[in-house]
A and B are shown apart, each in its own frame.
Chain A
Amino acid sequence: MTAVAGGPAQAQAQARAVGMQGVNPVAKLIASLLLAAVLVLSIDWVSAAVALACESVLFVFAGVRPRTFVLRTAPIWLAAPAAGVTTLLYGQAAGQVYWSFGLIHVTDGSISLAVATALRILAIGLPAVVLFITVDPTDLADGLGQVLRLPARFVLGGLAGLRLVGLFLDDWRALELARRARGVADGSGLRRFAGQAFALLVLSLRRGSKLATAMEARGFGAPGERTWARPSVFGAREWALVCVGLLVALLATAVSVATGNWNFVLG
């Protein structure tokens, strides 16, 4: 038995990881939600562009490798133009009409809306992905329980369910091989996918029930106060991140209002 009380917890508190790794996930969550909440209030290209510019500068300090960045943000890069095109064709018509066919109206108004929509998706989506690349689920659960004081039973039950995800992949591969061995793997992909997905759900539910018993056997869900082995700190760095997020959002909005482009979404 060591003479030093505490262990990884204390060592962790004394030497928190530098950069994004060490910031409390709750702070990341709040920052990205604030940013999204403010940006979504308006649909104009100025606020989105200003926010995107600020974020691009900040991404450099995020400590994310370029390859990881491209891979994880790929869906957003694909989806932004797609949504833009949809708005281009079907957005509210205003101003000069460039092309019209059936319900499609490409107009001045729809063009500006399309650009705004695409930029907005990028401005809201990219920082969220970057922030969450470095989040560890257990740390997030610790943060939700200790900082935000959400009910521990739900936070940890959710974490346990999330952890079972890792086992899904192995089961899925085994299910695929088993179907080939049983003779039913040639043919319609959708039906087979649905059948496999159902089998995976059954296996997961059974494993989940056993996990629930195991958790109860360790005293989970018992009445009484629960302690936390790993401290979740919300200090200067976390407040700094939240402020940065808020500032970027406010700056974008201010510029947009100043140039007269701000367009309230519900107006």
Chain B
Amino acid sequence: MHASPITATASRVGARRSIRWRVVDIVIASVIGVASGLVFVVWNQAYNPISALLSPVMPGLQALLGGGWLFAGVLGGLIIRKPGAALYTELLAAVVSTLVGNEWAALTLVSGLVQGLGAEIVFALFLYRSFNLGVALLAGAVAGFALAINDLILWYPGSAVAFVSIYTVSSILSGLVLAGLLSWLAVRGLARTGALSRFAAGRETSSRV
């Protein structure tokens, strides 16, 4: 038993937030970025055969896979919860994907920037205070929209209207599910393992003392 007075309430210090990034914020955002970048590399390899299957069905449907490149930003934003988190993790994941080598080369960085901005805008809209399921889904959807804009301008500039519209809708849907929902579930799972104990995201769901 403690000799000093035990307060029955848990410390409320976590409520005092600062927007300055701590070292642990930077390192964890980097880990998430690099890990996501590796998933991007695997996703890159899977993209061509699967899109070859999907695009005969309906041109533009291959954008349903787009969410696989969007979750880095949403995941980073949900965990770090500071301005620039979504942008940083998405950009770093794009850097890793570029370094390993893919067909889109240096322009992957542009994609990363645009997609990261998409998610970042949503988190900024909510003033970096709200990080529930709705915000996550919206961030994923907007990132998907950003992906569509980026790809249609840079890679499919001469496309028909049908392609453009199917591509855009598929991207948004993919972003919503693969980036928004999946990231939110991942954060909850990670928080339960105690891996996020230095973050507000980790303290929300843990019940142990």
Contacts and interface: CB of A to CB of B under 8 A. Distances in A.
Contact of B24 (A40, A80, A209, A266): A209
A197 interface: yes
Determine chain A's interface SS by DSSP, over half rule.
helix
A103 B197 CA distance: 52
Interface in B10-60: 21-24, 26-35, 38-39, 44-45, 48, 51-52, 55-56, 58-60
Interface stretch (B100-108, B120-128, B139-147, B168-176): B100-108
B133 interface: no
Contacts of A121: 103-104
A128 B186 contact: no
B52 A82 contact: yes
Contacts of B198: 209
Given A198-B186, A202-B195, A33 B159 contact: no
Contacts, number: 176
B59 to A, nearest CB: 4
Contacts of A213: 24
Interface string B65-109: 000000000000000000000001000100010110111111101
Determine chain B's interface SS by DSSP, over half rule.
helix
B101 A76 contact: yes
Interface stretch (A47-55, A155-163, A224-232, A236-244): A155-163
A246 interface: no
Interface of B: 21-24, 26-35, 38-39, 44-45, 48, 51-52, 55-56, 58-60, 62, 88, 92, 96, 98-99, 101-107, 109, 153-160, 162-163, 186, 189-190, 193, 195-198
Nearest 7 Cβ contacts at the A-B interface? A161-B30, A79-B103, A157-B26, A212-B24, A128-B105, A208-B31, A92-B158
8 contacts: A29-B106, A43-B157, A80-B103, A83-B155, A86-B51, A209-B197, A209-B198, A265-B153
Interface of A: 29, 32-33, 35-36, 40, 43, 72-73, 75-76, 78-80, 82-83, 85-87, 89-93, 103-105, 109-110, 113, 117, 121, 124-125, 128-129, 132, 135, 153-154, 157-162, 164-165, 168, 197-198, 200-202, 204-209, 211-213, 215-216, 220-221, 265-266
